[in-house]
């Protein structure tokens, strides 16, 4: 079956790679236009475009896919279905109705739970363990289209966002082929979304601020939910410090929330209930380092406290 693939970042590449290796034919790849990137602000193609070119697949990079663009450039590819992964554009109804089997998306939650841009981060932030992926047909709503398949995934309480995203990406890369095979042999069953809905809005910097009066488990989940570009953070002596990783422990000391103690080279923080050991941090203006090295560089170690 002929496929059209739409995606932009590096995270979409493994799924495109799996589609290329399948018995289906990727006849075209659509990605966002080349943008300035890196310190030198050089114009660079997206990761998906670069991979598609290496694999000699026709590539397209429109600022906007409208009906005219589709008719002039994409319709001639004769694709039966499109796979959309982190593409970055909203498609009009006329476009969504243009392919025989529609436009499919792999969403990293079990819809209708966590509709939106940050399903994995929100699930980890909320301490969820039972999760999964959904392959669904895109409609005009936000992640509201009918479901073709769902697969379970258990979030280990030690996993952070990047680990879960990688695992779900691997799962999606395998299962999208099964779904396409079922479409091709006409054995697929499409069902409307059912159950309680919830939203997974984009994570803002303010969402990631640590409030030490909260329970240690809640703060740990917030830290786990952080990404490379948006870590959990707090204030120390007037400067922002990012907390990259931590572990929860039993109460050892009786201190107010946010107070820091050093025990056997471990940096312990008191919370509203419980305590954490922080592992990796990024002090303002510095690179990532282990927490003990950070504290060891502070001259006055009396009354250390996060605010």
Q: Are 267 and 216 within one domain? A: yes
Structure tokens at 122: 């929100």
User: Distance between CA 28 and CA 20 in Å, rounded?
Assistant: 11
271 in a structural domain:
yes
Backbone angles phi, psi at 73, to 5 degrees: -125, -35
Q: List CB contacts of 13: < 8 A, sequence separation 6 or more.
A: 7, 47, 48, 51
Instruction: Please report the pLDDT score of residue 43 as a whole number.
Output: 87
Residues in the chain: 307
Span 121-157, pLDDT tens digits:
999 999 999 999 999 999 999 999 999 999 999 999 9
Q: Are 120 and 172 within one domain? A: yes
65 in a structural domain:
yes
Q: Are 291 and 234 within one domain? A: yes
Instruction: Please report the pLDDT score of residue 39 as a whole number.
Output: 65
Backbone angles phi, psi at 32, to 5 degrees: -65, 155
User: Distance between CA 293 and CA 297 in Å, rounded?
Assistant: 6
Instruction: Please report the pLDDT score of residue 35 as a whole number.
Output: 85
Q: Are 160 and 230 within one domain? A: no
Q: Are 67 and 32 within one domain? A: yes
Q: Are 176 and 212 within one domain? A: no
Q: Are 216 and 178 within one domain? A: no
305 in a structural domain:
no
197 in a structural domain:
no
Mean residue pLDDT of the chain comes to 95
Structure tokens at 215: 């329970």
Tokens 């995270």 map to which residue?
Answer: 11
Q: Residue 59 is part of a domain; what is its CATH number?
A: 3.40.50.170
Q: Are 58 and 134 within one domain? A: yes
Q: Are 174 and 41 within one domain? A: yes
Confidence of residue 300 (pLDDT cuts 50, 70, 90): confident
Instruction: Please report the pLDDT score of residue 5 as a whole number.
Output: 98
Pairing of β 81-85 and β 2-7 = parallel
The CA distances from residue 80 to 176, 260, 274, in Å, are: 15, 59, 55
199 in a structural domain:
no
Residue 268, domain extent: 205-296
Domain count, the chain: 2
- pLDDT greater than 90 at residue 88: no
User: Distance between CA 119 and CA 108 in Å, rounded?
Assistant: 6
pTM of the complete model beyond 0.75:
yes
The CA distances from residue 242 to 226, 272, 287, in Å, are: 10, 19, 10
Instruction: Please report the pLDDT score of residue 255 as a whole number.
Output: 86
Q: Are 115 and 17 within one domain? A: yes
Q: Are 167 and 279 within one domain? A: no
210 in a structural domain:
yes
Instruction: Please report the pLDDT score of residue 25 as a whole number.
Output: 98
Query: Considering 154, 184, 214, which residue would you say is the last residue of a domain?
Result: 184
Instruction: Please report the pLDDT score of residue 40 as a whole number.
Output: 63
User: Distance between CA 128 and CA 154 in Å, rounded?
Assistant: 9
What's the average model confidence in pLDDT over 155-170? 96
303 in a structural domain:
no
302 in a structural domain:
no
Among residues 263, 255, 214, 254, the alpha carbon closest in space to that of 234 is found at 214
Q: Are 17 and 166 within one domain? A: yes
Contact 248, 276 (CB under 8 A): yes
Q: Residue 254 is part of a domain; what is its CATH number?
A: 3.10.25.10
213 torsion bin: left (phi>0), alpha (psi -120 to 50), beta (else) = alpha
Span 5-47, pLDDT tens digits:
999 999 999 999 999 999 999 999 999 999 877 666 778 999 9
Instruction: Please report the pLDDT score of residue 38 as a whole number.
Output: 66
């Amino acid at each position: 079956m002929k496929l059209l693939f739409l995606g932009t970042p590096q995270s979409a590449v493994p799924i495109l790679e799996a589609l290329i290796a399948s018995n289906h034919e990727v006849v075209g790849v659509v990605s966002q236009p080349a943008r300035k990137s890196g310190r030198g602000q050089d114009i660079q193609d997206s990761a998906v475009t670069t991979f598609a070119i290496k694999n000699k697949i026709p590539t397209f990079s429109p600022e906007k896919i409208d009906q005219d663009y589709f008719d002039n450039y994409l319709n001639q590819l004769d694709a039966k279905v499109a796979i959309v992964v982190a593409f970055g554009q909203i498609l009009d109804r006329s476009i969504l109705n243009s392919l025989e089997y529609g436009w499919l998306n792999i969403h990293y939650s079990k819809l209708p739970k966590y509709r939106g841009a940050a399903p994995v981060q929100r699930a980890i932030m909320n301490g969820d363990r039972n999760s999964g992926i959904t392959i669904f047909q895109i409609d005009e709503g936000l992640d509201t289209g009918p479901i073709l398949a769902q697969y379970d995934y258990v979030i280990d309480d030690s996993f952070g966002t990047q680990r879960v995203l990688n695992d779900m990406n691997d799962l999606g890369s395998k299962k999208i082929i099964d779904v396409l095979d079922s479409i091709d042999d006409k054995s697929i069953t499409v069902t409307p979304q059912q159950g309680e809905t919830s939203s997974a809005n984009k994570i803002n910097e303010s969402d990631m601020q640590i409030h030490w009066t909260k329970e240690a488990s809640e703060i740990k989940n917030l830290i786990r939910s952080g990404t490379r570009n948006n870590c959990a953070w707090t204030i120390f002596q007037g400067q922002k410090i990012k907390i990259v990783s931590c572990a929860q422990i039993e109460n050892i000391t009786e201190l107010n929330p946010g107070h820091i103690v050093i025990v056997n080279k471990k940096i312990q923080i008191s919370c509203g209930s419980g305590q954490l050991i922080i592992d990796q941090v990024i002090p303002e203006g510095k690179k990532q380092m282990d927490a003990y090295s950070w504290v060891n560089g502070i001259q006055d170690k009396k009354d250390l406290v996060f605010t």
